[in-house]
A = this chain, B = another copy of it.
Amino acid sequence: MKQAIGVIDSGVGGLTVARELMRQLPKETFIYLGDTKRCPYGPRSEEEVRAFTWQMVNYLLGKNIKMLVVACNTATAYTLAELQEELDIPVIGVIDPGARAAIKVSQNKRIGVIGTEGTIESKAYPQALASIDQDIRVNDLACPPFVPMVEEGILSGPKAEGIVSRTLQPLKDMNHIDTLILGCTHYPLIKDLVQNEMGDHIQVISSGEETAREASLILAYHKALETDDHTPRHEFYTTGDMEKFRLVANSWFEEPIQILKSVELEHVSSSA
């Protein structure tokens, strides 16, 4: 039986990662689970994020997935290590792929990171970068206005440009970095705005693209790549309002999503 790749997120942001996974791995089947009912995870306690994440993981394990992608920066920061430890399948998060890609492209070892307040406060990116190269200097900046702006569908035009410009100003003032990591899965939707604001000399790294690339390598490494050249049917699950999820997903994907189901995670046991 074909096995799917599971993708979990606190809500809809991880859809940018799912979109890249489907583009870079067109033979693979994906099952996406977004905990839209309880998002955002950013302001929640570590204990809550861990419990919610394990509920999602256990639900997808019941669907016989062959790999798990944690497409949420907060969930990655709090749970990746223990998921990798305890699951028998490969587990990939969104933080390390962005860090490795930034190390590859940066020439001056000065790397910027933008994300939610939770991700920036967790220092997960500076730690990931320093674990590989102690000489890297990180300028990080929380950008609280970006997620609500993206979720409201404000992705271009003067209002979006103004918000992006004002928010990124502290990073521009420092003017040292040559590479900028988009450390939030919502941000790829405003990548062009960020690039325009920061200038062409800054290489902007999208964690979704990089996570998909690394998922491809890890699948190949485990000889678990799908070889059959079929058209996969992906499944999407949401804990929240289905029509709201469908609207966002369809505006982010090129083709409308086919299979969308509702799931109540509170009724899923959190024990493995």
Contacts and interface: CB of A to CB of B under 8 A. Distances in A.
Interface stretch (A54-62, A70-78, A216-224): A216-224
A214 B26 CA distance: 21
B213 A132 contact: no
* A interface: dominant SS: helix
A140 interface: no
Nearest to A25: B132
B100 A213 contact: yes
Nearest to A206: B104
B209 A104 contact: yes
B216 A103 contact: yes
Contact of A104 (B27, B134, B212): B212
B216 A218 contact: no
A229 B103 contact: no
A209 B24 CA distance: 19
A151 interface: no
A174 B261 CA distance: 46
A121 B106 CA distance: 34
Interface in A231-268: none
A131 B213 CA distance: 14
B217 A26 contact: no
A45 interface: no
A104 B217 contact: no
A23 to B, nearest CB: 8
A143 interface: no
B217 A131 contact: no
A96 interface: yes
Interface in A95-125: 96-97, 100-101, 103-104
A24 B134 contact: no
Contact of A27 (B134, B216, B218, B225): B134
A131 B227 contact: yes
Nearest to A97: B217
Nearest to A104: B213
Contact of A26 (B25, B133, B213, B216): B133
Given A24-B133, A131-B227, 13 more contacts: A25-B132, A26-B132, A26-B135, A96-B217, A96-B220, A97-B217, A100-B213, A100-B216, A100-B217, A104-B212, A104-B213, A134-B229, A221-B221
28 contacts: A24-B104, A24-B132, A24-B133, A25-B132, A25-B133, A26-B133, A26-B135, A27-B133, A90-B221, A96-B217, A96-B220, A97-B217, A100-B213, A100-B217, A100-B220, A101-B213, A103-B213, A103-B216, A104-B209, A104-B213, A131-B225, A132-B216, A134-B229, A214-B217, A217-B217, A217-B218, A218-B221, A221-B221
